[in-house]
A and B are shown apart, each in its own frame.
Chain A
Amino acid sequence: NFMLTQPHSVSESPGKTVTISCTRSSGSIASNYVQWYQQRPGSAPTTVIYEDNQRPSGVPDRFSGSIDSSSNSASLTISGLKTEDEADYYCQSYDSSNPVVFGGGTKLTVL
């Protein structure tokens, strides 16, 4: 089984850019798509990125996803931070033995 490791928390100021990493412990990050979910306090998760870098309709283009094979990690970048972006963010991927694996989540604070 592989794991996805995220930083526990990140913080940044409104208007700035923040990047949240998601490192895969074994197997290539590029071999299986990565998804990202936003979960605001008291609410259900919503998808902000799927298939590494695709945005669902309604998600602003301030949200972007990428893959870095050299560090075996995925990243979620949020530019032009707004207070409404304050939430928990989870990455997710899979392999042939593990249908769905979530990262531990990152709490984003917009100061």
Chain B
Amino acid sequence: QVQLVESGGGVVQPGRSLRLSCAASGFTFSSYGMHWVRQAPGKGLEWVAVIWYDGSNKYYADSVKGRFTISRDNSKNTLYLQMNSLRAEDTAVYYCARDCGNGVCPHIWGQGTMVTVSS
């Protein structure tokens, strides 16, 4: 069955960097777009970024543009999120999600990894 397992979360100081990973299995990873979605404590879902199945296109939320970079390694079935210049407001659970097939809808979700930005 489809499985997405995020890792790399933790506590980091403001201004520092962190890289999240999402290991995929149970489907042909190289055929699907992938998303990162986050959820601050007690808040709703916030879309972060999407990457096309072949990495050719990437789109970001305004709140992270210029600071976060989404990437993928199809040979390793792994999705990444490089987060730089972290701020307190980036504190959230970060979910990776497989797209539904057209690049615009998270469909199958991982369990999430918590990122806390605090001094």
Chain A interface residues (CB < 8 Å from chain B) = 32-33, 35, 37, 39, 44-47, 50-51, 56, 88, 90, 92, 94, 99-105
Contact = CB atoms under 8 A, between A and B. Distances in A.
B45 interface: yes
B44 A92 contact: no
B11 interface: no
Contact of A47 (B46, B47, B108): B108
A35 B111 contact: no
A44 B45 contact: no
Nearest to A96: B104
Contact of B105 (A44, A92, A104): A92
Which secondary structure dominates where chain B touches chain A? strand
Interface in B33-91: 35, 37, 44-47, 50, 59
B39 to A, nearest CB: 8
B104 A99 contact: yes
Interface residues of B, number: 21
Contacts of A47: 100, 106-109
A46 B106 CA distance: 9
Contacts of B47: 99-102
B9 interface: no
29 contacts: A33-B105, A35-B100, A35-B107, A39-B45, A44-B95, A44-B110, A45-B37, A45-B45, A45-B95, A45-B109, A46-B109, A47-B106, A47-B107, A47-B108, A47-B109, A50-B100, A50-B105, A50-B107, A51-B100, A56-B107, A90-B45, A94-B105, A99-B59, A99-B104, A100-B50, A100-B104, A100-B106, A102-B45, A102-B46
